[in-house]
Chain A
Amino acid sequence: MLLNPFNYHSPKTLKEACNLLDTLKNARILSGGTFLVNNLKSLKRRGLKTPDDIISLQKIPEIKGIQIKSDKIMIGAMTTLNNIAQDKNVEKHYPILRIVSENIASTQIRNMATIGGNVACRYAWTEFASCLIALEATLHFAEKKKLKEISAESFFKNNAKPEGLLTSISIPIKKDIIAIYKRVSKTPGVDLPMLTVCIKVSLKKNTLLDVRVVINDGASFSKRDVSIEKALEGSNLDENIEGKFLSNLNPETYKLDNEYKKELLRIHSKYAIQKLLVQINDNA
Chain B
Amino acid sequence: MTTLNINEKEYQLDLKGHETLLEVLRDNLGLTGTKTACNEAECGACTVLVDNNSVLSCIILAKDVEGCSIETIEGLSHEEELHPIQQAFLDNGAVQCGFCAPGFILSTKALLDKNPEPNLEEIKKSLDGHICRCGGYLKIFDAVKDASKKLNNHDTKK
Give me the interface of A with B, judged by CB distance under 8 Å: 1-8, 10, 30, 33-34, 37-38, 41, 54, 56, 58-59, 82, 102, 105-109, 111-112, 189-190
Q: Given contacts A106-B129, A107-B126, A108-B129, list 6 more A-B pairs with CB under 8 A.
A: A8-B16, A10-B64, A33-B64, A56-B61, A56-B64, A107-B107
Q: Which of A6, A38, A59 contacts B41 (CB 8 A)?
A: A38
Closest 4 CB pairs of A and B: A8-B17, A106-B129, A37-B59, A111-B53
Q: Which of B54, B59, B130 contacts A34 (CB 8 A)?
A: B59
Q: Which of B18, B44, B55, B56 contacts A5 (CB 8 A)?
A: B18
Give me the interface of B with A, judged by CB distance under 8 Å: 16-20, 22-23, 39-41, 44, 47, 50, 53-56, 58-61, 63-64, 67, 107, 125-130
Q: Report whether A111 and B54 are in contact in the complex, using a CB–CB cutoff of 8 Å.
A: yes
Residues of A within 8 A of B47 (CB): 108
Q: How far is the CB of A52 from chain B (nearest CB, A)?
A: 11
Q: Report whether B56 and A112 are in contact in the complex, using a CB–CB cutoff of 8 Å.
A: yes
Nearest A residue to B68, CB-CB: A58
Q: Report whether B59 and A38 are in contact in the complex, using a CB–CB cutoff of 8 Å.
A: yes
Asked whether A33 and B59 contact (CB < 8 A) given A106-B128, A189-B128, the answer is yes
A10–B18 alpha-carbon span in the complex (Å): 12
Q: Report whether B16 and A5 are in contact in the complex, using a CB–CB cutoff of 8 Å.
A: yes
A38–B56 alpha-carbon span in the complex (Å): 12
Residues of A within 8 A of B63 (CB): 8, 10, 56
Q: List 7 A-B contacts (CB under 8 A).
A: A1-B19, A3-B20, A5-B18, A41-B39, A54-B17, A107-B107, A189-B128
A56–B67 alpha-carbon span in the complex (Å): 14
Residues of A within 8 A of B39 (CB): 2, 41
A8–B16 alpha-carbon span in the complex (Å): 7
A5–B20 alpha-carbon span in the complex (Å): 11
Nearest B residue to A82, CB-CB: B53
Q: Report whether A34 and B107 are in contact in the complex, using a CB–CB cutoff of 8 Å.
A: no
Asked whether A108 and B56 contact (CB < 8 A) given A2-B39, A58-B64, the answer is yes
A111–B128 alpha-carbon span in the complex (Å): 13
Q: Report whether A107 and B54 are in contact in the complex, using a CB–CB cutoff of 8 Å.
A: yes
Asked whether A108 and B107 contact (CB < 8 A) given A2-B23, A6-B17, A190-B128, the answer is yes
Residues of B within 8 A of A107 (CB): 54, 107, 125-129
Q: How far is the CB of B44 from chain A (nearest CB, A)?
A: 6
Residues of A within 8 A of B59 (CB): 33-34, 37-38, 112
Nearest B residue to A32, CB-CB: B59
Q: How far is the CB of B157 from chain A (nearest CB, A)?
A: 30
Q: Report whether B55 and A108 are in contact in the complex, using a CB–CB cutoff of 8 Å.
A: yes
Q: Report whether A109 and B129 are in contact in the complex, using a CB–CB cutoff of 8 Å.
A: yes
Nearest A residue to B63, CB-CB: A8
Q: How far is the CB of B133 from chain A (nearest CB, A)?
A: 15
A163–B16 alpha-carbon span in the complex (Å): 28
Nearest A residue to B62, CB-CB: A8
Asked whether A109 and B56 contact (CB < 8 A) given A1-B18, A2-B20, the answer is yes
A175–B126 alpha-carbon span in the complex (Å): 33
Residues of B within 8 A of A59 (CB): 67
Q: How far is the CB of A126 from chain B (nearest CB, A)?
A: 15
Q: Report whether B17 and A30 are in contact in the complex, using a CB–CB cutoff of 8 Å.
A: no
A56–B17 alpha-carbon span in the complex (Å): 10
Residues of B within 8 A of A5 (CB): 16-18
Nearest B residue to A189, CB-CB: B128
Q: Which of A6, A58, A108, A189 contacts B18 (CB 8 A)?
A: A6
A38–B127 alpha-carbon span in the complex (Å): 21
Residues of B within 8 A of A190 (CB): 128-129
